Structure 1
Amino acid sequence: MTVTNKHGPPELPGLSEPSGAPGPSRPAAVPGPTSVPGSTAAPGSTAAPGPVDVAAELTLRCLDLLADVSRTGRLLRRAELESLRSLGERGAEAGHGLRDLVTHCLGATRQAWQTLPGLASAVTAAELRRTGDAVLAATEAALGALGEGHERAQRLAMRLEESNRREFIDDLLRGRGDLGVLAERAERFGVRLAAGYTVAVAVGSHPYVDGRTGICRILRDLCGRFDERTVLIVVREGRLVCIAPDGEQEVLKAFIDLTLRPAPGHVPAVRVATGRRHSGTGGVVRSYEEALSTLEYAERLGLPAKRLRAEELLVFPVLMRDRAAMADLVRNVLGPLTAARGGARPLLETITVQAEAGYVNAETARRLGVSVRTLGYRLERIRTLTGYDPSDALHRYTLETAVMGARLLEWPARPL
């Protein structure tokens, strides 16, 4: 039978009183088959019921605990708080928002307030205050544990999602894995493999570390300005990599600006290179490799530019396609400079700076920090030792090409 209190709704079955606990007796659950949310068993079936809805289970659990607290005035135990955290996790996994769970639990508690045993049996106002304070303290602790569990599940889900995202981007950059599976994963993250993509790679004075404040700031800024599904950023081998699809070139531009800009907790990038746009499943890999090659050439050549595009340095892959021929050019054109007093380095620097200064001697001397007379002496030594005159257009091109080859081959520090 169901006992109804004249001051409130019927007391819920299942809130059984612990043995030996003082207070009025409580109604037992109605025997027989019960209808459990989510159960598929037919009426009268003896099969085990299906999983109970998290919100309904949370309501029964909270009311059970509060009924016991109203009788004893005790605090919630550690195991009970952990049970509520577990319910909060399950609620998050089932798609329930924290506000909905809290509202559901508080609403049920408010309706059953007057039927709680300790409150119903209170005789004096002091007893009523003590019992009410104990119940409210238990409610506060219960809802705090519920929120902890819900947030814990949310953080875990976010970490798992981010881990899957990083793994997918890493596989995309490596070009590995089954294409069918890769296409399915790409659809989940909003990536269209058939479209064109451009990859930018930023390198700092120190290796980038995932999770650092500066990287989180860049991600937050980009996600705040663009659709989160179009922002594909990952830390790979100490570099920061951004993949921008067609039509989202503003993402790439914003990424470059943010990485180069000094900010609290973020060391600005030394250089950012972008590959060319490529389409298809291998397009991301090709653009990524071009960006890496551009960074490598810029490092070897000591280029001052902080923003580089692969198409600006296409001449160097052509020059380095035949390393033996390049080494032969360096050996024959620049090899005699090693006989100069002080070695070949000052003369190699002179050729480089003169080309950058447009072959204006006064500007070349200023950039080198030497007098025009000293510069004239160096140019004469270059003509004498190599047989190539920097004032001659053909000789000038040969010297410049040989110097670039020497820097790419790290000569004379590394023997040819």
Structure 2
Amino acid sequence: MSLIEKDHKYIWHPLTQHQHEQPILPIKSAQGVYLEDVNGKKYIDGISSWYTAVYGHCHPKIVEAIQQQVQQLDQVVFAGFTHQPAVGLAEKLIAILPEGQSKVFFNDNGSTATEIGIKMALQYHFNLGNKRTTMLAFENGFHGDTFGAMSVSGLSVYNGAFEQHFIDVKRIPVPTDENIDEIKQQIEHIHQETPIAGFIYEPLVQGAAAMQMHKAEHLDKILAFCKAKEMVLIADEVMTGFGKTGKNFASDHMMTKPDVICLSKALTAGMLPMGATTCSQQIFEAFYDQDIAKGLFHGHTYTANPLACKVASAAIDLLLSDEIQQNIQAIIGWHQAFAKTIEHHKNVKSVRQTGIILAIDLATEFSRYGNFRNKIYHFFLDKGIYLRPLGNTIYILAPYVIKSSEMLDIYNVIEKFLNNYLEDI
């Protein structure tokens, strides 16, 4: 029985309707920006494997970090114990996070990072005796697959079967120059009817909503308005964190800083699963009490796993290196130049960019999960480029170590697609 046959027999893949399943690709190895399948064909990983492997696959410094740590301490429960990898990572995180972050709560993945952020906001007000049980979130946001995270997400295609079980959430549109005052009025009205505990938001880029983007100056006004009403601001930086917007964190672009930040994905450079939820001292102090019930009773078996902590620490060192910082700026420049060459193409509806994220909306409409989208996906794979279109949006979020020639390969295939896609697929 082949690998593919065994996969079909035993495995249930994520985000997959198996009755409509397309051919899957067996990968045997990865190095730098390349994935290699079992037949030896290589593919440029144009989305950093869901925004995680931003320093490339199997980066030697990341590999060295895990090799050293696995010989000393692999795993220990984090309730009642601590260790240097966790303390060292927390110290490094606080040093580079936006101003005001004070404590790090380790967890397992992006969904649980946001889940804990939501719990922090709700319990913060509960502990203070405030009757605030409603959360505020953007329309079309996505924050994960656990129940709290689903509650504040706005993509019903993911969550429709569970909506009757959700916490109370009110939604607002992303801010633009035209709707700022209207959004403020909407928030004011909601807050008067049902006081809002916290506002969770994807700063600057809504990833699952086809990389929809909004401006820092507009978001800043909404954040300041919510902050003045003592709402807990929760920045979901699971996707945007660690350099993708041109700064270390998307929240660095705003004057109003979050009270809570949710992290994962690039945190461990794509090497191991891990998440972290950080918060201000003010948030922490609402849980610091003689009353045990006021503590944050949330935990995971692999919380602060030493291997993941060591890898994350090495990843931060890479992020701060001159080489990576220069590469990030180079990618931004390449994207800007490429965007100008295609923005008026007959098959391009619009082009947008934030940092190293470039999104191209096609001048056509089709189902987000339909057969046409799958044909586009395989068009790029056939030509050695791994991209995952979001509906009629093609986007690039490549590793920071990509070379100009490799990025040019991506651009060239996208141009070929734009010039010939109706005929080719």
Higher Rg of the two aligned structures: 1
Fold shared by both chains (TM-score > 0.5):
no
TM-score if structure 1 supplies the norm length?
0.21
Structure holding more helix per residue: 1
Structure holding more strand per residue: 2
User: Which is bigger in relative contact order (C-alpha 8 A, separation at least 6)?
Assistant: 2
